[in-house]
Structure 1
Amino acid sequence: MRQHGMKITLGDDWTATVTGEPLRVTPGFDFSSPGVRLAPYANREERERFLLDTFGSQEWLWDTPDTLGFDRVSRELVGAEFRLPHESASAEDCARLSSVPPVLPGGLRADEERDCRLEVTSVLCRAPGDAELTCLRDLDVLDEPLQARIGIAPDVALLVQHGTVVGWSLTDPARHLTSACAAPDPDPPSPATRRLLSACLDLITDPLLDEVQDREPAALARLREIHQALRVQREDRHRADALLSLISNLVEDYGDR
């Protein structure tokens, strides 16, 4: 399907047109948040300037939607942030994504300069081995075929159904693991990191997250086991530390009592 020139609704009846140029920004999978960042900035100060210099969907006071930042002159998409939902879909529901359309690269140009609100997704679908993470508005999305997947950056795509953005996906999340605004390690992730990423995703999503928060002994034992494995891993330390940042917080909040 040809996507260049296609109009899509992002939120609040706010539309954009698909262009031929995706972002060249390397995605960062910030596990401390957790979420995915397409960031033309390298620290908090640069991020604040980015938010001031762009328009689109941005956080405001206690409201934290997903972020889409568009340049005020060209109206082109120049950055984005997506939050990972805490609810995992069942394996049966995730299998329903097996026939999604191929990713076709493309950028976005806002049809007008005004702010909108892109709701965060509510459910996470995990491919086998967590080779891809797909985040959906809700499970009702799976009841009908997706219309398109727009690759707005390397390994990051927006999911479109009936002309509306209904989710996003990240391919090879282990490769993109990082903390805050730091760039991901350019070397490939180790097999141990891939296994530990899957274990950590179990811990930060329901139903295991609920069991950790309820301090069920088996869940806490699993939490401490993964925490220790991350602490002693010698290879791929940048990614291990990225995972450790959030897991350590869970241990501090629930595992030490």
Structure 2
Amino acid sequence: MSDAAIHPIRFILSDVDGTLLHPDHRLSQRTADAVRALRDSGVFFSLASGRPPKAMLHLIETFGIDVPVAGFNGGTLINPDGSILVAHHLPAEAALVTLALFSAEPDVETWVFADGDWLRRDPPGLMVQREADGLGYGPVVVDSFEPYLDRIDKIVGASLNSQRLIELEAQLQPKVQGLAHVSRSQPVYLDVTAMLANKGEALKTIAAYLGVPLEQTAAIGDGGNDPAMFQVAGLSIAMGQAEEAVKREASVVTASNVEDGAAQAFERLILSPGVQ
């Protein structure tokens, strides 16, 4: 008897950018159809993204999601109507350390997400338009991040110098150990959130809410913030274009997002398990 027969997947938690969407943020018809087929077959389907909850609302509508979803890498779980189910704020101590490190980097833009807004300081950087295109809205310019220190959801270091972000990730982790979770959601974004604000905790929380055992859950993603959910899911799937370190954390590697790898995985592993 196959493992799929013993532990059929009843809940899937999926990353968004680089997983369900093409590089131009487009959703293919094949992926849309595969998600619809999952839901029609009785499989719960939800999203976990580094995006703010406000930017998740149109995705909830697009995919017809009727269960909680995770924004800010799991820092905030919202119901389908946008109301907050769970929220984890970054400790002020960790925020101060992170802001000091990022502000000293000329190639790194520092963004703060708090009070439902995306905050930045002047002058605008090269990465702002890219983020605005992905989120569907722009930032609020503030003179200082200090008034928000007690309620920050996420801090992002954004840079086209991906190698520098790798180095900053290594520098920051020991400085905020036990206080914050540090990961690169994409090669150009270094995210800092509360310790419980990770996709693994999000998967556990939503699965418990739905009454689904972890062995009957699946997780799929491509970024450095996705292994946290790979480590707790019954089935973990890495996208084909993911970094090797991410692929090594998954039990299965599918095709890339430009090849509709998520749809391929859903079709082969969940909708028709055992069919070659």
* TM-score, L = length of structure 2: 0.30
Q: Which has the higher strand share?
A: 1
Q: Which has the higher helix share?
A: 2
* TM-score, L = length of structure 1: 0.31
